[in-house]
Amino acid sequence: MNLSLTGKHALVCGGSRGIGFAAAKELAFLGAKVTILSRDVDSLLVAAEQLDVTQKQGHHFLVADLSNPESVRDLIGEFAKDNPVHILINNAGGPRSGPLVEVEIQQLAHAFATHIMSSQVITQVVLPGMKEAGYGRIINIISTSVKQPIAGLGVSNTIRGAMANWAKTLAGEVGKDGITVNNVLPGMTSTERLQELFKSMAERLHITPEEYAEQVKTTIPMGRFATPSEIANVIAFLASPAASYITGTNVVVDGGRTGSL
C-alpha cells in the first residue's frame, strides 16, 4: 500500500492544536511538507517547533482568522503562488453550544463564514496547483452531526450539514481532475474543544464536567473517547495515494456511537 506523501505539500487549517495538529504530524511523518494555519500565533509557534522536531522538511505556518474569508483568500492566494498545495485539510473550531432557538443571526453568519466561505475561497486558490500536479486531496474535518444532529449544538449541526453537502457537490466537479474530496466525521475526541463543550453542557444540567463525561461514555460502544491521533490516521490515509478512488463520502470515526450507517 502506497502511503508515501514525499514531494507533497499539505495545508492544514486549524493545525496548531487538537485534531488539526495531530493530522499535521501524521502527514509530516508520511513525508509531506506541512503548512499549518491558525489565528493563535503562540500555539502556532509551539506546534511548528514540534513539527520541525518530527521531520526536517521545511514546514511553514500562516497566521489567519478563518472568520474573515477575504483576508484568508488573499493570504493563501499569495502563498500558493510559490508553494502549490496538494493536500488541503479544512478544519475550523466548532461554534458555541446551545439550542438553535436561542441563536442570534450573527452566530450563524459567523459560523458560515468560518466554515463554508473560508473553505470555498481556500479551495478556489489551491485547485490550480492540484490540477497542474495531477494530485489533489481535499479533506474536511466535520462532525458526526452530519448523520445525526447532536442535542445542544444547534449552530454546529446546521453548519456541519451544509459543509458536507458543499463537499459532496465539489467532489462531483473536480473528480475528473484526479482530485478527491472527502469528509472525516470525528466522534467524541479528547481535545480542548470537547472539554469546553462538556463544561457548557454540565452547567446546563447542574452537574460537573466529569460527571457529564462519564454519562457520554456510556453512549459509546467502545466506552472511551478517541485520541486526536486516531482521527489523524484516517485523515492521513485519505490524503495518500492509496485512497485514490475514494471521493465524495463521509468517513465516521466515532467508536460506534452514531446511531445510523
Considering the domain architecture, whether residues 120 and 246 belong to the same structural domain is answered as yes
Quick: pLDDT tens for 65-93: 999 999 999 999 999 999 999 999 999 98
Quick: pLDDT tens for 144-178: 999 999 988 999 999 999 999 999 999 999 999 99
Considering the domain architecture, whether residues 168 and 214 belong to the same structural domain is answered as no
User: Does residue 1 sit within a domain?
Assistant: no
Q: What pLDDT band is residue 53 in, cutting at 50, 70 and 90? A: very low
- Please report the pLDDT score of residue 52 as a whole number: 66
Considering the domain architecture, whether residues 67 and 165 belong to the same structural domain is answered as yes
| Total count of domains within the chain | 2
Domain that holds residue 103: 9-189+227-253
Considering the domain architecture, whether residues 138 and 232 belong to the same structural domain is answered as yes
Please determine, for residue 94, whether its predicted confidence score (pLDDT) is greater than 70. Answer: yes
Q: Are strands 60-63 and 87-90 parallel, antiparallel or unpaired?
A: unpaired
User: Does residue 2 sit within a domain?
Assistant: no
User: Does residue 178 sit within a domain?
Assistant: yes
Considering the domain architecture, whether residues 183 and 195 belong to the same structural domain is answered as no
User: Does residue 3 sit within a domain?
Assistant: no
Quick: pLDDT tens for 103-119: 999 999 999 999 999 99
Q: Are 124 and 174 in contact (CB under 8 A)?
A: no
Spell out where the chain has E strands.
Answer: 9-13, 33-38, 60-63, 87-90, 136-141, 179-186, 250-253
pTM above 0.85, yes or no: yes
Considering the domain architecture, whether residues 182 and 198 belong to the same structural domain is answered as no
